[in-house]
Amino acid sequence: MSMTGSFSVGAIRGDAGQGGIVDHRLARRMLINQVRIGRLRRDEVCDAHPELIRAASHVGTQTEARCPICEEDNLRLVTYVFGHRLPSHGRCVSSAKELRELSALGRELRAYVVEACCTCRWHHLLRVVPV
């Protein structure tokens, strides 16, 4: 039986085309638990860059989920796209339409979906998705 497609050595190493979705929910859960049991202080995890908080406030998508750290505000999702011919700091995408337009360019791009709390400045990378 040959190793082809998603089970190839290249795919396992991560160098077979655009790859798949990378999900960071387990790391998120571990980090939240570390805060709750007192191994990490709140100020160690609530340190989002002001530009991320600005993007979350103005173009982020509000979720129904409360912040797991302060429990005062709903989380917002912000998507940044990185890839060839985009700025080195990425491009903040504010709508599904804008993401589809970038996808139609046919370039190898990755979208980084970050959750952020505008109240306490908690943030966490949720997933990386090929565009």
* Higher pLDDT among residues 98 and 7, named by residue: 98
- Residue 8 has what pLDDT? 42
- Residue 95 has what pLDDT? 87
Query: How many C-beta neighbours within 10 Å does residue 87 have?
Result: 9
Residue 57's pLDDT band (cuts 50, 70, 90): very high
Residue 95 lies in a domain: yes
Residue 7 lies in a domain: no
Residue 3 lies in a domain: no
Residue 103 lies in a domain: yes
- For residue 28, which phi and psi values (nearest 5 degrees)? -60, -50
- Residue 17 has what pLDDT? 53
- Residue 105 has what pLDDT? 79
Condensed to tens digits (0 to 9), the pLDDT of residues 69-121 reads 999 999 999 999 998 888 888 899 988 898 888 888 777 899 999 999 999 99
Secondary structure (3-state) at 101: helix
Residue 69 lies in a domain: yes
- What's the total number of domains in the chain? 1
Asked whether the CA dihedral 90, 96, 97, 102 is positive or negative, the reply is positive
Segments forming the whole domain that contains residue 58: 19-130
Q: What's this model's pTM, rounded to 2 decimal places? A: 0.80
The span from the CA of 52 to the CA of 80, in Å, is 10
Residue 65 lies in a domain: yes
Express as a percent the part of the chain with pLDDT over 70: 86
Residue 37 lies in a domain: yes
Instruction: Give me the half-sphere count of Cα atoms (radius 13 Å) on the Cβ side of residue 102.
Output: 24
Residue 12 lies in a domain: no
